[in-house]
Amino acid sequence: MYPQELLYTKEHEWIRVDESIGTIGITDHAQKELGDIVFVELPRVGDQVTANESFGTVESVKAVSEIYSPITGEVTAINPRLQSTPELLNADPHGDAWLIRVRLTDRREIESLMTADDYEAYIKEKKGE
Partner 1 sequence: MRYLPNSPADRAAMLEATGHQSVEELFRQIPAELKLQGRLNLPRPLSEPEILDFFRQAAKQSSRDYVSLLGAGAYSHYRPVAIDALLSRGEFFTAYTPYQAEIAQGTLQAMFEFQTLITQLAGMEVANASLYDGSTATTEAVLMALRISRRDRVVVARTVHPEYRQVLQTYVRHQGVEVIEIAYSPSGQLDRAQLEAALKQDTAAVVVQSPNFFGSLEPVREIAEIAHKNSALLVVTIAEPLSLGIVQPPSDADIVCGEAQSFGVPVAFGGPYVGFLASREKFVRQMPGRLIGQAQDTEGRRGFVLTLATREQHIRREKATSNICTNQSLCALAATIYLCLLGKRGLKALAEQNLAKAHYAARQLRAVPGTATPFVAPHFNEFVVRTPGDAEELLAALRNEKLIGGLNLGRFYPELANHLLVCVTEIVSKEAIDRMVEVYRRFAAATNSSGSAAEFHSASMGRNL
Kindly determine how many residues on this chain lie close enough to bind partner 1 according to the rule CB under 8 A: 10
Interaction of residue 64 with partner 1, rule CB under 8 A: yes
In the set 45, 63, 91, 121, which binds partner 1 (CB under 8 A)? 63
Interaction of residue 41 with partner 1, rule CB under 8 A: yes
Interaction of residue 62 with partner 1, rule CB under 8 A: yes
Q: Are 15 and 70 in contact (CB under 8 A)?
A: yes
DSSP state of 126: H
CA dist 128 and 48 (Å) reads 36
Helices (H), 9-115: 28-34, 81-84, 88-91
For the chain, how far is it from start to end, CA to CA, in angstroms? 22
User: Is 41 or 120 the residue whose CB approaches partner 1 more closely?
Assistant: 41
Interaction of residue 66 with partner 1, rule CB under 8 A: yes
Closest distance between partner 1 and the C-beta of residue 112, in Å? 25
Binding site for partner 1 (CB under 8 A): 39, 41, 44, 59-64, 66
